[in-house]
Amino acid sequence: MADRSDVVGTVAGPGDDPNEFVFVTPSDKSIKTGEFITYTVSVEDEPRSVFARVTNRELIRGLPEGFLADPEVGPETVAATLGVPTDDTELYRLTATVIGYYDTNMTTFANPRQLPDPGTPLSIAPHQQLETVLPNLGCETDSTDVTSLDGVAHVGWLLNRPAEATNLHIPIEEFASTHLAILASTGSGKSYTASVLIEEMMRPTSRASLLVFDPHGEYDTLAEMQGEEAFQGEDGYEPDVVYYDPERLRVRISELEIGDVMAVLDNPSNRMQDRLSTAWRSMQNRESRTWGIDALIAEMEAEFGADDASVGALEWRLRRSIERNDLFHPEENVPLDEIVDPGQCTVLQMDTLDRRDQQLITTVLLRRMYRERLGDVRNRDSDIEHPIFALFEEGHRFAPASGEAPSLGIMRTITSEGRKFGFGLGIISQRPSKIDQDVLSQCGTQISMQIKNPSDQDAIKNSVEAAGEDVLRELPGLTPGQAVVSGDAMNTPALIQVRQRRTPHGAGSRPVIEEWREAYDERQREPTQSESADFGEGESTGVQSLD
Amino acid sequence: MHRSTTRQQYGDGAMTDTPTNEDSPDLDSCVRIGSIVSSNSHLDYVVEVYKERDCDCPPELHEREFGQPVFIKKTVDGTEHAVMGVIYDTQLVDPDQGRTGPRLAQDDQAQFTPGYIEERTTLAGVALLGTAEISEDGEIQEPTHQMPRWTLEVEDTVFNCPDQVTVSFHTVDDQIQLAYMDRLLDIAGDLGSEVIVALINRLQGMLPDDDPNQRVLDVVEQNVQWQAREQRGVV
Ligand SMILES: Nc1ncnc2c1ncn2[C@@H]1O[C@H](COP(=O)(O)OP(=O)(O)O)[C@@H](O)[C@H]1O
Ligand SMILES: [Mg+2]
């Protein structure tokens, strides 16, 4: 405390809020908003380092704006003309909010309930200390080498600090069991950040069992983890990346619930719904789990008569929507033991399925996996005897606020109960306002990136209570790869730069110009007559081949 | 009465054409404007302007106008210096008017409190701006806009400062400076912004049109005028 060499500012007095104070710095100590600073107070006779977050910065003394009157004349030139020294002229008033001191018993921040006295010197919080106390790592000292801990994910570093200076390692267990939300506009780095987390979870120190529901084919490059030294364990461990293409995605018909079936049928009448429910119930009570549409129709005819009009109409709809859709099958099912395993990351490639089919396969898989997890925890026979974590791109598609998705029910169940059964979800979405509020508010850890749409910002504010206003204010101004991490995995929210992936990123936007030019060249090479054929009888307006 | 005895011989006549001598203005031959009769403060002097009676060649009206840069020569420690100033106010005194003598200024108008004067006189207020050394060949060098430390004397001669010297005094490292501005504003009071604007306009007239300092001076002028308007409640 006596050493003032690292002092960057001096407390001026209390701020507007009970937890706020104001301090003053000269211009050469450039402190940004979001920076973490610290000062020492005595709590029960023990000196404690209290941390505070800078929330606002304003100039209280500087060159007058009149000096800026001519854009071609620099204000420092005007100042020099008037003999005003330009170095050390500026003074800044900054506002900071007290976070607290790190209580090593509680392993989180405790509020000292007293603001620093005017005149208290302030320093920039040291790297290692922040690395220890910002994430919820449960460290028993306030300065630990967190890189040596198991089960942590290195997601990036504090945005206000130089690259890789103050790194953020978040506890995987925390976000994998109490669910995760990654929210941002398109192109802000959601898939990129999710891939960083996947890489971290697949390292030898964690060996997670992961499932990625990928409606856009954005995770095709994860396989490059295989063969990379960073992912290899001393015991020969290497992550297994399994791609499940749409041809192998199957839903066994008997796994569908009556609500799922209703969702795929075109507007069934009330009477049709009645008949189908009755027949579906009796089919599900049967011993066999491998029945098809034929058997179902036979059951309906047996109950309601072969010439019942509703049964006839149902038959037509069932054959069209279920029997003729390759996704559904009387016997085949996605074998759970193929898609979940420790050290395995399975990417379910759903990019060729339509939205309804994506929802149905998701619904059925989640339901089956949840059942197995439930069985495992209750000591019943189970196909999945370890915790699992499932990531969803386009999360609002599977848990929509509108309620219109068969998967919503099971998503709600898992997000509210899953932590007891070792089943975590990660919801990725560019439209937080379109996600079911129950699901979103159950996501204990949030990674929020650039988002401009006001209703989406509101959705984040409402569900992400852990991130204070001052941090959320940053969201519209972030650039791709910058994120606010908040919630259960953190002791206090932090603004970070997400680190670079080890594997290449597979979800860039398409090189449009290049593709146009290639397509044009391709077209040029085509024989002329086929071109005129395309235009029917009309004259071709295309550029003719020159030879 | 107390001042007339030691008036020098101004008959050397060559002074009128020296300011136009472009190469090297002879600081000795500059137009003499008047002599100091009193001061209001360390930086604020009262000068009685020469009349026909006082010398052969009294200053013409335009040579002692408002905003005219002036200098007073001082030898300090063997080095000749020019103490630079500017005329920031004038006042006419007629001792016959009501026999009250010059207006005995109230406290808040303390600029002019000359002693007893028996004839009609023009007084000029001169605010000091800074100092410079006078070199062997009569040019000024090492200009500084810091407050002059030396006190002037009653009867010190005040010279009209030629344009070239004015520019030299205002040029520090190729950059125009008016670093005395805050002090000048203070001394000149109500006419502070006007005297600065007059100085700036003079400097602008002396500099080439394409000199980069022109725009800087524009910005300074704008600032001064704006502040004056604000203070006077115009805006
Ligand atoms: N942490 C990061 N480091 C470097 N580049 C990034 C980072 N995050 C995002 N990007 C860049 O932003 C682009 C868009 O990211 P992406 O994750 O595909 O966006 P989203 O899934 O939100 O639409 C990526 O192609 C990549 O170039
Ligand atoms: Mg994406």
Can you name the residues that pair with A213 across neighbouring β-strands?
Answer: A348, A392
Within 13 A of A4's CA, how many CA atoms are on the CB side?
5
A113 — pLDDT class (breaks 50, 70, 90): confident
Which of B119 and B37 is assigned the larger pLDDT? B37
Q: Is the CB of A157 under 6 A from ligand 1?
A: no
Task: Check CB contact of B219 with chain A, cutoff 8 Å.
Answer: yes
Measured CA to CA, the distance from residue A339 to residue A337 in angstroms comes to 6
Do the bridges between strand B121-134 and strand B44-49 make them parallel or antiparallel, or are there none, so unpaired?
Answer: antiparallel
Q: Is residue B17 part of a domain?
A: no
A306 — pLDDT class (breaks 50, 70, 90): confident
For the cut 80, the answer to whether the pLDDT of residue B235 exceeds it is no
CA angle, A293 then A297 then A303, to 5°: 150
| E strands, chain B, in order | 32-41, 44-49, 69-76, 79-93, 121-134, 140-144, 157-160, 171-172, 175-176
Q: Is residue B20 part of a domain?
A: no
For the ranges A16-20, A63-67, B39-43, B100-104, the lowest mean pLDDT is seen at B100-104
What is the model's pLDDT at position A5? 61
Q: Is the CB of A187 under 6 A from ligand 1?
A: yes
For the cut 70, the answer to whether the pLDDT of residue A386 exceeds it is yes
What is the model's pLDDT at position B131? 96
DSSP codes joined into one string, A42-79: EETTEEEEEEEEEEEEEEEE---GGGGSSTTS-HHHHH
Measured CA to CA, the distance from residue A509 to residue A267 in angstroms comes to 38
Q: For a pLDDT cut of 90, what percent of chain A falls above it?
A: 68
Q: With an 8 Å Cβ cutoff, are A78 and B179 in contact? A: no
Which tokens in the block code for residue A85? 């020294």
Which of A61 and B124 is assigned the larger pLDDT? B124
Q: Is 0.90 topped by the overall pTM?
A: no
CA distances from A128 to A143, A145, A167, B101, B169 (A): 6, 7, 9, 81, 57
- Please state the rounded mean pLDDT for residues A302-329: 92
Q: Is residue B16 part of a domain?
A: no
Give the contacts of A298 (CB within 8 A, at least 6 positions apart): none
CA angle, A434 then A435 then A440, to 5°: 145
Which tokens in the block code for residue A120? 């208290």
Measured CA to CA, the distance from residue A432 to residue B223 in angstroms comes to 50
Task: Check CB contact of B167 with chain A, cutoff 8 Å.
Answer: no
Q: If you count them, how many residues does chain A have?
A: 547
Token pair 């300090």 in the structure block, residue:
B76
For the ranges A397-406, B19-28, B129-138, the lowest mean pLDDT is seen at B19-28
Measured CA to CA, the distance from residue A362 to residue A30 in angstroms comes to 50
Within 13 A of B104's CA, how many CA atoms are on the CB side?
6
Can you name the residues that pair with A87 across neighbouring β-strands?
Answer: none
Please provide residue A120's backbone torsions phi and psi, each rounded to the nearest 5 degrees.
Answer: -65, 130
Interval A25-36: pLDDT, tens:
987 677 888 899
Which of B182 and B102 is assigned the larger pLDDT? B182
DSSP codes joined into one string, A116-164: PPTT-EEEEPPHHHHHHHSB----SSSS--GGG-SSEEEEEEETTSSTT
**Region(s) of chain A under CATH 3.40.50.300:** 167-249+340-498
What is the model's pLDDT at position B28? 78
In chain A, which residues have their Cβ closer than 8 Å to the Cβ of B181?
82-83
Query: How far off is chain A from B168, nearest CA to CA, in Å?
Result: 14
Beta-carbon count within 10 A of B79 CB: 11
Query: How far off is chain B from A26, nearest CA to CA, in Å?
Result: 24
**Partner residue opposite A81 with nearest CB, options B175, B182, B226:** B175
Q: With an 8 Å Cβ cutoff, are B218 and A70 in contact? A: yes
Interval A149-167: pLDDT, tens:
999 999 999 999 999 999 9
What is the model's pLDDT at position A512? 82
Chain A CA closest to residue B176: A81
Quote helix, strand, coil % in chain B, to nearest 5.
30, 30, 40
Question: Mutate which of A154, A185, A192, A484 to test ligand 1's pocket (most atoms within 8 Å of Cβ)?
Answer: A192
DSSP codes joined into one string, B191-217: GHHHHHHHHHHHHHHHS-TT-THHHHH
What is the model's pLDDT at position A547? 46
Measured CA to CA, the distance from residue B19 to residue B167 in angstroms comes to 13
Q: Is the CB of A188 under 6 A from ligand 1?
A: yes
Give the contacts of A241 (CB within 8 A, at least 6 positions apart): A222, A223, A225, A226, A344, A345, A346, A347
Query: How far off is chain A from B130, nearest CA to CA, in Å?
Result: 12
**What count of CB pairs under 8 Å joins A to B?**
49
Q: Is the CB of A480 under 6 A from ligand 1?
A: yes
For the cut 50, the answer to whether the pLDDT of residue A541 exceeds it is no
Interval B116-143: pLDDT, tens:
556 789 999 999 999 999 988 888 999 9
How many domains, in total, are found in chain B?
Answer: 1
Q: With an 8 Å Cβ cutoff, are B177 and A77 in contact? A: no
Which tokens in the block code for residue A119? 């005149």
In chain A, which residues have their Cβ closer than 8 Å to the Cβ of B235?
none
Measured CA to CA, the distance from residue A434 to residue A439 in angstroms comes to 11
A494: three-class secondary structure by DSSP:
strand
Say what angle helices A293-304 and A270-284 make with each other, to 10 degrees.
110
Alpha-carbon Rg for chain A in angstroms: 30
Interval A228-277: pLDDT, tens:
899 999 999 999 999 999 889 999 999 999 988 988 887 889 999 999 99
Count H helices and E strands in chain A, helices first.
17, 20
**Partner residue opposite A69 with nearest CB, options B178, B181, B219:** B219
For the cut 80, the answer to whether the pLDDT of residue B15 exceeds it is no
A317: three-class secondary structure by DSSP:
helix
Chain B CA closest to residue A65: B223
Convert A385-414 into a string of H (helix), E (strand) and C (coil).
Answer: CCCEEEEECCHHHHCECCCCCCCHHHHHHH
In chain B, which residues have their Cβ closer than 8 Å to the Cβ of A64?
223
What is the domain range of residue B171? Answer: 27-231
For the cut 60, the answer to whether the pLDDT of residue B90 exceeds it is yes
A217 Cα: distance to centroid of ligand 2 (angstroms)? 9
Which tokens in the block code for residue B184? 């000048």
B68: three-class secondary structure by DSSP:
coil
Is the CATH number of domain A167-249+340-498 3.40.50.300?
yes
Q: Is the Cβ–Cβ distance between B152 and B72 less than 8 Å? A: yes
Beta-carbon count within 10 A of A283 CB: 18
